[in-house]
Amino acid sequence: MRITIDTDRCIGAGQCVLTAPGVFTQDDDGFSELLPGRTDGAGDPMLKEAARACPVQAITVESE
Ligand code: SF4
């Protein structure tokens, strides 16, 4: 899996962090970023759910 966060689109709603706290975190400004070492999602079952939960579709999950 490859996860991309469109930081221009992210509004810092935090839904991704709430849904998949094992993959996403928020930076000091509240915008989404990947936890260190989790750039592939590490098989987190909530990953796709987190992408769906984002209100502005800023998260893209692709199979490699
Ligand atoms: S849910 Fe979307 S808008 Fe909210 S912090 Fe995550 S990526 Fe950004």
| Distance between CA atoms of residues 41 and 22, nearest Å | 8
Q: Give the angle subtended at the CA of 35 by the CAs of 34 and 41, to the nearest 5°.
A: 70
Q: What is the mean pLDDT of residues 27-53?
A: 92
- 4, pLDDT greater than 90: yes
6-10-16-18 Cα dihedral, nearest 10 degrees: 160
Atom of ligand 1 nearest to the CA of 13: 4
Asked if residue 20 has its Cβ within 6 Å of ligand 1, the reply is no
Q: What percent of the chain has pLDDT over 70?
A: 100
Asked if residue 23 has its Cβ within 6 Å of ligand 1, the reply is no
Is 24 within 8 Å of 50 (Cβ atoms)?
yes
Report how far ligand 1's centroid is from the alpha carbon of 45 (Å): 18
For residue 30, the tally of other CB atoms under 10 A from its CB is 12
